[in-house]
Chains A and B, each alone.
Chain A
Amino acid sequence: MNFLERTLASFLNAVEHALDAEDLAKADGLLQRLDPRIKVIGILTLIIAAATAHKLWVIGAVFAIALSLAVSSRVSPLLLAKRVWIPVLLFTGIIALPAPFVIPGRVVWRLPELGWPMTAQGLLSARYLVTRVETAATLSVLLILSTPWTRVLKALRVLRVPVVLVVILGMAYRYIFLLLESARDMLESRRSRMVGELKGSDHRRLAAASVGVLMSKTLQLSGDVYSAMLARGFHGEVYMLDDFHTAALDWMMLAVFAVLAAGAFYYGR
């Protein structure tokens, strides 16, 4: 695969992720029914609990909570495996692989032939890293798979994120897809005109020119968007309508999140 195909594949992957998220956010599951503010606070607290825990079983328990939240929100473990578990295992797993041989401690086993010592502490630290990363990644993906992005952003207001930042994040997200489409069209049209293979240096020139064109287009786009905003009466002030309503289920789940996180903090010390 050359650079054009690889780049197009990563664009496709991003769009696929966004479509998955949009579909799942519409499903009728537990997390989808919750007020986004409660979800943001609850999931963030669980992520911090997993990050703080000093005991493996506590991190495992938070992972089990994440898994049950996923199942009750109609997020299939298969999708989680494809989007989170396998990529995380490939990335963090490789990083953690040498830890049992490098971290000093009590030797529990030796690699046959080579005789390298494997330590208990090294094995434990590799497990800490992998379970912690898997748990936190599962939780953060659950948030986005069960909530439309615009509502996640609005919910960030409870964490005192400034309105202007929330608006910029919302607009940036929208323009990501426009620019992805623009970049995809550019690369596709170039690919359709290609016969044979390009040299490495031509590939690099093509990549730099594509980014350059995209950048010029973006700057022009920002001017156009600004003019459109002015035409609609924009004076530099941004407002946001908060249309959240909490129901009994939200308060109940907030209490559940609080108890679970408190438990994880207490037992994980």
Chain B
Amino acid sequence: MARWPDPWRLSYNGDLCKASAALPLSLAKSQKANMHIPDGYLSPSTCAVLYGAAAPFWYTALQRVKKNLSTRLVPLLAVMAALSFVIMMFNLPLPGGTTGHAVGVAIATIILGPWASILAISIALVIQAVFFGDGGITTLGANCFNMAIVGSLVAYAVYRLAAGRAALTSSRRVVAAALAGYTAINASALCAAVEFGIQPLFFKDPSGAPLYAPYPLSIAIPAMMIGHLTFAGLAELVLSAGVVAYFQRTNTSLLKLTAPGNLAADEEIAGADSQSMWRTVRPLWIGLALLLVLTPLGILAAGTAWGEWSARDFSTRQAREKMAMASHNTAPPVQPPRGLERLSSLWTAPFPQYAPSFVRRPAVGYALSAMFGAGAIILVSLVAGSLATGGKSRG
């Protein structure tokens, strides 16, 4: 029998969270069937931000799909949205004897491409929310952002990367589809978990009770992810892999859209592809270069970023004042949190505070750090890209 120490009789700081042991399981069970966020879980401001975040994707998706389909757009999107809706109602049998629902986002992406998938899944989510009350109306932007947008884009990236240029009937495509489905639905769940988890940070009533989803990130993320890494992820995995395997046997032409390396006039199309690819990504490269040049602007920002403190900051007066200012004049604890102190020695950044030790001027250090960071990311992407291309030539 667990006894709580005396001071806990009057107040409870929630640190131990022993009582939450049952939570992940209960959430996992209830989330198995549903990851549509209902109204009331997210604050209106979070909802507005997520509607805003979804809008440019919807706009771009509509423009792209319109360009490719022109007048076919209306009937194709309508029936594909209807199909997405019906797929979401399938109870998929999972290993272990249970069943689970899938969103079908990876399979929609593989057959239709990511942009049409974003639109089809979003429309299906609108009908589910408005007509069937599955998912909220204020949270519609969040649901579309998590499942339709993040889901489609992650599924596309993973599928293309994992499938490489493998033949349309290659079993590598089945594995790629399985991975795409599993990763996409878990990425969507992670987004939802983060949205839940930030609610108690920002929205509390005067007594300190959370107004919306009550659990902090430390509980929301594991609770959501356990359900999705197991049941929901598995359902998506089974569906994506199964349908791709089915099309490999019956109608491979449906898999062509997201396998450009397999078209007949490979050479010509690849040439045209790389040209049009360059045309598409050119504005992104220009934007990235501009952002890199503008990085020293970050130095002008006043104050410190909330929560980005080091253990040392707790002992200097100046840093303590800045922390209090950033926390609505709440004084930070006298001693640095023990966990922070212990973990801060685990890893030392190569460029602490965005300033390599050999550079004197902070602006130059800042720009250098940005260039180094961006360079590292580009390098990793190129290596991953070339690995995938290597796979294509072998496939």
Q: Is the CB of A128 within 8 A of B209?
A: yes
- A101 CB contacts on chain B under 8 angstroms: 19-20
- Chain A positions within 8 Å of B254 at CB level: 215-216, 219
Of residues 113 through 129 on chain B, the ones whose CB sits less than 8 Å from some CB of chain A are: 123-124, 126-127, 129
Q: Say yes or no: B215 contacts A171, CB within 8 Å.
A: no
A144 vs B10: C-alpha distance when bound (angstroms): 47
Indicate if the CB atoms of B136 and A238 lie closer than 8 Å.
no
- Closest Cβ of chain A to B341, distance in Å, is 22
Contact of A52 among B13, B23, B44, B91 (CB under 8 A): B44
Bound CA span A88–B129, Å: 14
A169 to B90 CA separation, bound complex (whole angstroms): 21
- Contact yes or no, A207 B93, CB < 8 A: yes
Q: How far is the CA of A44 from the CA of B19 in the complex (A)?
A: 37
A117 touches B91 (CB 8 A): no
**Which positions 60-100 of chain B face chain A at CB distance < 8 Å?**
70-83, 85-87, 89-95, 97, 99
- Chain B residues, Cβ within 8 Å of A10: 89, 91
Tell me the chain A residues, 145-190 only, with Cβ under 8 Å from chain B. 149, 152, 164-165, 167-176, 178-180, 183
- Whether B215 and A17, one on each chain, are in contact in the complex, defined by CB atoms closer than 8 angstroms, is no
B90 touches A176 (CB 8 A): no
CB-defined contacts of A116 to chain B, threshold 8 Å: 2, 4, 18-19
Scan residues 9-65 of chain B and give those whose CB is less than 8 A from a CB of chain A.
9-15, 17-20, 22-23, 26-27, 29-30, 34, 38-41, 43-44, 47
Contact A180 B138 (CB under 8 A): no
- The answer to whether A221 and B74 touch (CB under 8 A), given A54-B211, A136-B40, is no
Chain B residue, CB-CB nearest to A116: B19
Closest to A11 in B: B89
Taking CB atoms, residues of chain B closer than 8 Å to A104 are 11-15, 208
Q: Which residues of A contact B20 (CB under 8 A)?
A: 98, 101-102
Scan residues 94-113 of chain A and give those whose CB is less than 8 A from a CB of chain B. 94-99, 101-107, 110-111, 113
Q: Are B79 and A3 in contact (CB under 8 A)?
A: no
Report the contact-size class of chain A (Cβ under 8 Å from the partner): 35 or more
Q: Are B83 and A214 in contact (CB under 8 A)?
A: yes
B385 in the interface (beta carbon within 8 A): no
- A191 close to B (CB within 8 Å): no
Q: How many A-B contacts are there with CB distance less than 8 Å?
A: 308
Given the known A-B contacts A11-B89, A121-B209, A216-B251, are A208 and B242 also in contact in the complex, defined by CB atoms under 8 Å? yes
Contact of B22 among A98, A105, A219 (CB under 8 A): A98
B124 near A204 with CB under 8 A, answer no
In Å, the complex CA distance between A2 and B239 comes to 17
Contact call B12/A136, Cβ cutoff below 8 A: no
Binds B, one of A27-35, A229-237, A253-261: A229-237
Beyond A129-B41, A168-B74, is A225–B79 a contact (Cβ under 8 Å)?
yes
Minimum CB–CB distance from B202 to chain A (whole Å) comes to: 13
Selected contact of B19 from candidates A51, A102, A137, A204, CB within 8 Å: A102
Q: Decide if B26 touches A97 in the complex (CB within 8 Å).
A: yes
Question: In the complex, which residues 48-71 of chain A have their Cβ closer than 8 Å to any Cβ of chain B?
Answer: 48, 50-52, 54-55
CA distance A251 to B35 in the complex (A): 38
**B336: interface (CB < 8 Å):** no
Tell me whether B132 and A6 are in contact (CB under 8 A). Answer: no
Q: Are B214 and A205 in contact, CB atoms less than 8 angstroms apart?
A: no
Residue of B nearest to A44 (CB): B137
List, in ascending order, chain B residues with CB within 8 A of A239's CB. none
Q: Is B319 part of the binding interface, using a Cβ–Cβ cutoff of 8 Å?
A: no
Q: CA–CA, A214 to B107, complex, Å?
A: 13
Interface residues of A (CB under 8 A from B): 2-3, 6-7, 10-11, 14, 17-18, 21, 44, 47-48, 50-52, 54-55, 83-84, 88, 90-92, 94-99, 101-107, 110-111, 113-117, 119-122, 124-126, 128-129, 132-133, 135-137, 140-141, 143-144, 149, 152, 164-165, 167-176, 178-180, 183, 200, 203-205, 207-216, 218-219, 221-222, 225-226, 229-230, 234-236, 238
Instruction: Sample 21 A-B pairs with CB under 8 A, ordered by A number.
Output: A17-B131, A21-B131, A51-B40, A51-B44, A91-B38, A104-B11, A105-B209, A119-B12, A124-B209, A125-B210, A128-B205, A129-B41, A168-B77, A171-B75, A172-B82, A178-B82, A208-B245, A211-B90, A212-B247, A214-B87, A218-B79
- Closest 9 CB pairs between A and B? A208-B242, A101-B19, A104-B14, A136-B39, A132-B40, A171-B78, A212-B246, A236-B71, A175-B82
